[in-house]
Amino acid sequence: MNSALVFRTSRLALVGAAAISVLAAAAPSAFADTPAPAPAAALELRKPTSYRLGAHFEADVGLMAVMRQSAGLAGGVVWGPFRAGLSYTTFLSNSAFGGTPEGFSMRVNHIIGINAAYFIARSTDDGLYVQGMFHIKQQGVTNEATGDHKDLDSLAAGLELGYLWKVYQGLYVAPRIGALYYLKSPQPGNNPVQIGDRAYDNPRHKDWDTYFIPTLSVGYSW
């Protein structure tokens, strides 16, 4: 009986030793399959980009240099490469830039703009950008011979393309061009408008209003 007990104990010992050997051999491959902790730099790269919230204000110095009795101002909020805001413009037009026919004077009483811009492949508001615009516009036209006057209202939507350089901290300059399509023309049906004894017909105020000759804004972003 004692010999049988000894034999069973020996068998159990051999089985246990074999199991320990198998586990010891498998352990390195098991640990090898476990991915190493990601480096701190990699974890930083995986973090979502956090954009800074700010604001901007600018003046259209190109407009104010060319047009008499003019003002062009814009401002709004900045979030990383995105901008949204409002603009206000007024000026006394001329035949060279505004297409005003001879015998008439025309003043843009106001252009109220609702604007949203994206700076392409940037994390802040600098560099090349595209801006969507919606303009609420009123222009007053006067027959210079008779003094008759009429205010013409319009709505337009379009795009602007520009480039913004930050020259010192938040101070910047931004040349830009743009085009707007009249959703509501100042000349209904694109027909001449009778003002006094003459018909007012401005070729620039029918389908499109463009400024392909670049204008220049100077502003500050913070």
Residue 212, pLDDT score: 81
pLDDT digits (tens, 9 = 90+) for 187-198: 988 899 999 999
Instruction: Tell whether 77 and 179 lie within a shared domain.
Output: yes
Q: How confident is the model at residue 24 (pLDDT cuts 50, 70, 90)?
A: very low
Average pLDDT over residues 157-177: 97
Instruction: Tell whether 80 and 24 lie within a shared domain.
Output: no
Mind spelling out the 3-state secondary structure of 60-103? EHHHHHHCEEEEEEEEEEEECCEEEEEEEEEEECCHHHHCCCCC
Instruction: Tell whether 113 and 97 lie within a shared domain.
Output: yes
Residue 32, pLDDT score: 47
Instruction: Tell whether 95 and 135 lie within a shared domain.
Output: yes
Residues 6+ apart with CB under 8 A from 94: 67, 68, 100
Residue 202 sits in a domain of what CATH number?
2.40.160.20
pLDDT digits (tens, 9 = 90+) for 38-87: 555 554 555 566 899 999 999 999 999 999 999 999 999 999 999 999 99
Instruction: Tell whether 42 and 58 lie within a shared domain.
Output: no
Residue entry with tokens 């830009």: 176
Residues 6+ apart with CB under 8 A from 158: 132, 133, 135, 178, 179, 180, 181, 209
- Which value, in Å, is the radius of gyration of the alpha carbons in the chain? 36
Instruction: Tell whether 94 and 16 lie within a shared domain.
Output: no
Q: Is 94 exposed, middle or buried (0-12, 13-18, 19+ CB in 10 A)?
A: middle
Instruction: Tell whether 24 and 122 lie within a shared domain.
Output: no
Q: How confident is the model at residue 119 (pLDDT cuts 50, 70, 90)?
A: very high
Average pLDDT over residues 81-102: 91
Residue 29 structural domain: 2-46
Residue 21, pLDDT score: 54
Residue entry with tokens 């707007």: 180
**pLDDT above 70 as % of the chain:** 78
| Domains identified in the chain, total number | 2
Instruction: Tell whether 73 and 166 lie within a shared domain.
Output: yes
